[in-house]
Amino acid sequence: MNLSEVTSVGGFFSLVPLVVFLPVLGLLINMIFGGRMSEKAIGWTASLASGATFVVAVLLATSLAGHPEAVTIPFLDWINIGTLELPWAFRVDTLSVTMMLVVGGVGTLIHIYAIGYMHEDVRHHNDPSRYRRFFVFFNLFIAMMMILVSADNYLMLFVGWEGVGLCSYLLIGFWYDKGKDGIGNALAGKKAFITNRIGDFGFLIAAFLMFQYFGSFNFDVINEMAPAVAAAAPAAVMAMTMFMLLGVTGKSAQLPLFVWLPDAMAGPTPVSALIHAATMVTAGVYLVARSFALYSLVPAAQNWVAIVGGVTALLAATIAVGQFDIKKVLAYSTVSQLGFMVAAVGMGAFTAGMFHLVTHAFFKGLLFLSSGSVIQGMERGEHHVEHDPNLKRKMKQEHGAGHFDPQDMRTMGGLRKRMKITFWVYLIGSLALGGIFPLAGFWSKDEILLESMHLHPTVYVLLTIAAFFTAFYMTRQVVMVFFGEPKSEPAAHAQESPAVMTVPLLVLAGLSTLGGLLNLPYLHTFKEWLGHTLGEAEHAVEGAVEGLAEGAAHASTAWYDLGGLDLRVALFSTVLALLAIALGWWMYTRRMEELQSLPLAKRPDDPLRKILGPVFKVFENKYWLDEIYKALLLDRYVDVANFLAQKVDWDFWHDWFHDKVLAGGFRGLTWVLAKPFDLGIIDGIANGLATGMQGLAGQMRRLQTGFVRNYALAVFLGVVVILGYLVLRMI
């Protein structure tokens, strides 16, 4: 659709490029004038730029309400070669605008929160000059994410896809001179980028296949041609979707590439909330939803996606149980929840997956930001302790002289009394994540479970167990952080965060509570909304669901059917979650207290360690996946690279073959041929002509008996003669 058609459609569609350009404007202002601006001005400039994209997204949504069909806004040609036509073009449809709303909305709240958070963070790290840099990167991220979600073709999507990866790299390593050995954060950033690049390799191969079979990267063209291509070359579509899956596992942190996400927690907490929970990591889910036409055609690939999601969901949930860093628990929880979404879109339950993506952005954004509030509360407590000699001495006795870790949940406890707002919003976030009625997570997770029961029983089992673990580890975390007695002096003196941070928390808490309204049973507002874009795919799924439920008529009259909500599934998962909460509550209050009677040396830091024994060790050490990858892949690559560089390229090829064999042989030959002739006659003439090069000549002769110089001179003189001749001719 070209621009003239767009105007006939009316509405705000042609505003869509602004979602990219407004944050770019914001970052340019901060880059150019930020040096002379106050912290507040910088932070609010960035927040306004982000907020403006949200306004644009809202306007687009209102326009879509009246005209729900997709609109394409071409902007500029990009790569045009032969039959390849690749524009910068924006696509406005219900799917892309949903993502824009999430990115702009949650993004802006996190920007505002960061105004307060980074104010303290840069002081905590002793470098206030980086305040500006943070907001420049943050705006850049919004711009890149908007490119990703508003692209009308796979390659422009890829620009955003790698662009957000770059921002992730820069923000994980934001304190690039901190972390383990001063380099830990920088290494975490590098790990994220390279792991993602492995995924991007898959994306690229998928793109090559697309061009070969579709001759285009355009979503519409591919959707339209997909059935015909899938019929003619099913293997190609299978390969395409599977390589794309590799990209998804990178960006959305799924098996086998999820290992970068927990390390990514090295970034400041607003980064973890925005990039590594609410938006960027969901890009993989968005990609599969965007490619619904392809995936729907290859059930085998769908099966793989669903299995990858299901297994990741469970595996990461078990790891979360064994973590003590408050952010690591949330990170593995994110991996696990992304597994839910990936499983959903893999099964073809695109609406359910997208629904969970949205609610997860609310409650996981909330949880991360609250954890940031907790961490800074602890840091303020630590600061307080540092300035009180008595407390300082007391803390040294209790914790030793080592560095105090404000993120270790074992040092927390009792914070509900000192940080009231943070406690309540954290509780709401946890219950939403745990899937408790009527919070947002209940509705979206339940929809995924329901769909999986019909579409993929194996995945249903995996996800249900994962849901049990989810409720359990969140209870564990809430109890360890907020209940009981403070386990350290900083915890006892923790202080609540300022309003600029708590207000965004309250807004997100509201969204986490009410988010379920988006897609209530009977109404299915969200499903209808997305149906305009994912229409066909959803119908196919409905068909399957109905078929499995032994006919639509029968299903709708059953006692357990409440307009798309299956009471059996809902009840079962709710009971499981409540059980997990009860178990967690008992274990980390009662059982923990009982264990306190043990002598210090035998007292476990976690009751589960005693119950599960070696299994807990496996959870705590993340199944040793990092160690396995290092031993099997990373170290091997370093070995190969060193071997090639040192032994093959240098010792053998450079030193032996070239310097010994070739040069030595040549030298011997020239010595025999040239000594009597060359040194006697030619060298004499050359020396006369080139006295300026005397110093060189001495060295050169030693090496090559003057051969090069003579040749050079000959060529040089020849050219001079030729040029002279030429110039004369021309005149």
Q: Does 429 participate in binding another protein (rule CB under 8 A)?
A: no
- Range list of H helices, 483-591: 489-492, 499-514, 525-548, 552-557, 567-586
Contact residue for another protein among 231, 548, 661, 696 (CB under 8 A)? 696
Q: How far apart are CA 312 and CA 337, in angstroms?
A: 9
One character per residue 638-677, x = contact with another protein (rule: CB under 8 A)? x-xxx-xxx--x---xx--xx----x--x-----------
- Write down the least CB distance from residue 627 to another protein, Å: 19
Instruction: Return the number of the residue (21 or 437) whose C-beta is nearest another protein.
Output: 21
Among 39, 85, 120, 162, binds another protein (CB under 8 A): 162
For residue 165, give the H/E element and its range. Answer: helix 154-172
Backbone angles phi, psi at 91, to 5 degrees: -120, 125
Contacting residue, 3, 84, 499, 552, with another protein by CB under 8 A: 84
Find the binder of another protein among 67, 125, 197, 394 (CB under 8 A). 197
Q: Does residue 729 bind another protein (CB under 8 A)?
A: yes
Nearest CB to another protein, comparing residues 388 and 639: 639
Segment near another protein (CB under 8 A); pick from 453-461, 606-614, 619-627, 714-722: 714-722
Q: Specify the 3-state DSSP secondary structure of 89.
A: strand
With CB under 8 A as the contact rule, which of the stretches 348-356, 443-451, 510-518, 722-730 interacts with another protein?
722-730
Binders in 63-82 for another protein, by CB under 8 A: 76-82
Considering only residues 330 to 389 of the shown chain, the ones binding another protein according to CB under 8 A are none
721 binds another protein (CB under 8 A): no
Contacting residue, 90, 135, 137, 193, with another protein by CB under 8 A = 193
**C-beta separation of 361 from 278 below 8 A:** yes
Complex with another protein: residue 185 or 488, whichever CB lies closer: 185
- Taking CB under 8 A as the criterion, the residue among 28, 55, 205, 583 binding another protein is 205
Minimum CB separation of residue 711 from another protein in Å reads 7
By CB under 8 A, tell whether 187 contacts another protein: yes
Q: Which stretch binds another protein (CB under 8 A): 7-15, 64-72, 393-401, 704-712?
A: 704-712
The neighbour count for residue 447, using CB atoms within 10 Å, is: 28
Structure tokens at 553: 């008529």
Candidate residues 12, 21, 44, 211; the one interacting with another protein per rule CB under 8 A: 211
Interface residue with another protein, options 55, 59, 194, 520 (CB under 8 A): 194
Distance in angstroms (rounded) separating the CA atoms of residues 246 and 301:
12
Closer residue to another protein in complex, CB, 359/710: 710
CB-based contacts of 313: which residues, under 8 Å, 6+ apart?
336, 337, 338, 339, 340, 343, 462, 463, 466
Determine the Cα–Cα distance for residues 270 and 604; give it in Å rounded to an integer.
32
Shortest Å distance, C-beta 9 to another protein: 27
Residue pair 144/166 in contact by the 8 Å Cβ criterion: yes
Beta-sheet strands, E only, within 25-142: 71-81, 84-92
**Residues 118-147 interacting with another protein (rule: CB under 8 A):** none
Position among 55, 183, 612, 615 found at the interface with another protein (CB under 8 A): 183
CB-nearer residue toward another protein: 623 or 657: 657
The torsion defined by the Cα of 222, 228, 230 and 235, in degrees rounded to 10, comes to -100
Tokens of 3: 């621009």
Residues 606-645 that bind another protein (CB under 8 A): 637-638, 640-642, 644-645
Instruction: Judge residue 233's burial from the number of C-beta atoms within 10 Å of its C-beta, 0-12 exposed, 13-18 middle, 19 or more buried.
Output: middle
Give 288-291 contacts, CB < 8 A, sequence gap 24+.
288/244, 288/245, 288/248, 288/342, 288/345, 288/346, 288/350, 288/353, 289/95, 289/345, 289/350, 289/353, 289/354, 289/534, 290/95, 290/157, 290/219, 291/222, 291/241, 291/244
